[in-house]
Structure 1
Amino acid sequence: MDEKRSETDTARNLVIGGTGLVGGYIVEQLLRVGQRPFVLSRSHRSTPGVDWFRGDLEKPESLKFPAFTTLFCTADAILLANALPRLFNLSLKRIVVFSSTSVLTKQDTEVEAEREMIGKLADAERAIAAACEQHNVGWTILRPTLIYAEGRDTNITPLSRLIRRFKFMPLVGGAPGLRQPVHAEDLAIGALAAASSRAAINKFYSLPGAETLSYREMIGRIFDGLGMPRRTIPVPPLLWRAGFFLAKPLYPDANVAMGIRMMKDMTFDSTPAMRDFGWNPRAFNLAFDRHDDPTT
């Protein structure tokens, strides 16, 4: 019994990406269960219950930590693959890394830069798995779908701000493509569960949300969460392509392919994650506050 207690007391977790959305929730979850995590940051930080370490994945030589048993990484998996040799230690038993379902859905994208990035991400996944197996460390790679957390994410929240500003949303081809948005906090809970599951060792998992919605209905739910009437305008794909430069102000960071993907199904099977570590995400019901809008 004393030996088991000693192992629990000395077990430590390192979170890379702990200043980000999902990583921040992982830190919160660890604190909630009485853990004191190590967390990497590029700048000086101070948080009760957290041991912060300054460093940068892009500069592997800056990564210096005491021994830890579990690594959670929500930062760029491509950078992690390059830095991983600096992170192995004799105590390390498990690594849980976040990638993206884009590895599966964007392989044939018409945007060359996206294809290159997806190729690098797929290579990084393979490199992480191979390095872990070489060091006898159990790995799990999680591929979430469309991540959201009202007012904080880079997927749903920007759409909400466009809707607030323009009071309507153009939908290419009526936007019938299916989506499964997933909350960032659910991903954090899932990551901790995966790290504790022997069944999840050395496996990839897609992590979709609880509901499968058309892109059109997903946008409708955003209107609902803002307390605004649903106002959408169907745009024929040919017109979208021809008038993309006119539509650019509505989507300042967009490309043509983003609109075309509104018509494409992007759905994944959550059964393996449910079976192996109890994946149980929430339904897609939004509630935005006024402070979520930077213009108010």
Structure 2
Amino acid sequence: MTAISGTGPHRVLVTGATGFVGRSIVQGLVGRGHTVFAGSRGGEALPGARGLPLDVTDPGSVLRAVGEADPDAVIHLVGIIQEEGAQTFGRVHVEGTRHVLAATPRRARYLHMSALGADEQSASRYSATKGEAERLVRESGLAWTIFRPSLVFGVGDDFFGRVLRELVTAAPVVPQIGDGSFPFRPVSVEDVALAFAGALDRPETAGQTYALTGPEEYTFRELLDQEQAALGQHRPVMPVPLALMNLAVPLMQVLPHPPITRDQYAMLKAGNTAPNEPARTVFDLPMHRLPERLPQIVEAARRR
């Protein structure tokens, strides 16, 4: 297993560069002086980064982007939260990863965005396909590093800026799934971006898998309370028995935009937490706190 040395700057291709996490990672890489190529389906350029059309489900598109970028590091971020038409978890997470791995130069460093809870045996197709993708990465022969972030928060995020916000504002009472005890350890998008950029400077992190979690653990009920506080509202919280949720969630899927998908429900019940070591120390992460950022997140979501 050989790869670029820890000294930079490098030519870095980022897949999924125009997404919520991707934009922060690109910004951090550009700030460190790397030559960055922002790969996305639309080929949009980002500040300081050249845009390249890159559809991970199309192996030809991936090969063309890699050929143009000629990267000595590839950061693969593409993932979906909800399946839509041909964009299935298997096609995007597994086959997309397979295409990127096949196109990545053997000399290149490879950094992979997975997810906390990735497990091929998971009841969640999202988590199961993330686990399948991790196996492909480990078998690739590349100098890889896998990151498993928990819920990622920041302006523009999907969970705190949309899913949880809609959950606490949609009705006069706030529905709480079960007893609300499921644990979570959200991590800031800034900490995630620092970890990815830091891995390029640390060849010794090749072959390692890191959980990316924040400084504090919260129950689901506490997250509901935090979201309400950030919104300045105080609606009563009503526990919904899991038996009822198990019946209601499948029925919600007939809606054009269900408030919660089957996979999101399975992941919520499983919780999403892990210690923030060794990533915090290895990458010297500042560990931004959720309560300090939530007001900004919900205000930005309100303006949108």
Task: Please give the range of the TM-score, normalised by the shorter of the 2 chains.
Answer: 0.7 to 0.9
Residues 49 and 242 (structure 1), Cα distance of their counterparts in 2 relative to 1, 3 Å cut: closer
Retained in 2: the 8 A contact 1:149–1:183?
Answer: yes
Structure 2 segments unaligned to the other structure (5+ residues): 1-6, 80-92
Map 1:126-137 to 2 at 5 A: 126-131=135-140, 133=141, 137=142
Q: SS state of the match for residue 274, structure 2?
A: coil
Map 1:122-271 to 2 at 5 A: 122-131=131-140, 133=141, 137-150=142-155, 152-157=156-161, 158-244=163-249, 252-255=258-261, 258-259=264-265, 262=268, 264-271=270-277
Residues 284 and 167 (structure 1), Cα distance of their counterparts in 2 relative to 1, 3 Å cut: farther
AA aligned opposite 2:210: Y
Retained in 2: the 8 A contact 1:224–1:230?
Answer: no
Q: SS state of the match for residue 142, structure 1?
A: strand
Among all aligned residue pairs of Structure 1 and Structure 2, give the percentage whose two residues are the same amino acid.
24
Q: 1:97 aligns with which of 112, 117, 120?
A: 112
Residues 142 and 244 (structure 1), Cα distance of their counterparts in 2 relative to 1, 3 Å cut: closer
* TM-score normalised by structure 1 residue count: 0.81
Superposed CA offset, 1:34-73 (max 9, x none): 3331111222434442121123211121233232222111
Shift of 1:29: 0.9
Superposed CA offset, 1:70-102 (max 9, x none): 211111342122332222154x2x111101113
Shift of 1:255: 4.5
Retained in 2: the 8 A contact 1:17–1:73?
Answer: yes
AA aligned opposite 1:169: V
Q: 1:107 aligns with which of 117, 121, 130?
A: 121
Q: Counterpart in 2 of 1:86?
A: 103
CA RMSD after TM alignment:
2.8
Structure 1 segments unaligned to the other structure (5+ residues): 1-6
Q: 1:74 aligns with which of 70, 73, 77?
A: 77
Map 1:262-281 to 2 at 5 A: 262=268, 264-281=270-287
Retained in 2: the 8 A contact 1:178–1:266?
Answer: yes
Q: How many aligned positions are there?
A: 274
* TM-score normalised by structure 2 residue count: 0.79
AA aligned opposite 2:288: R
CA distance in 1, matches of 2:41, 2:252: 37
**More moved, 277-286 vs 217-226:** 277-286
Superposed CA offset, 1:225-276 (max 9, x none): 1121253111222333355578777x81424675576554432122121343
Larger radius of gyration: 1
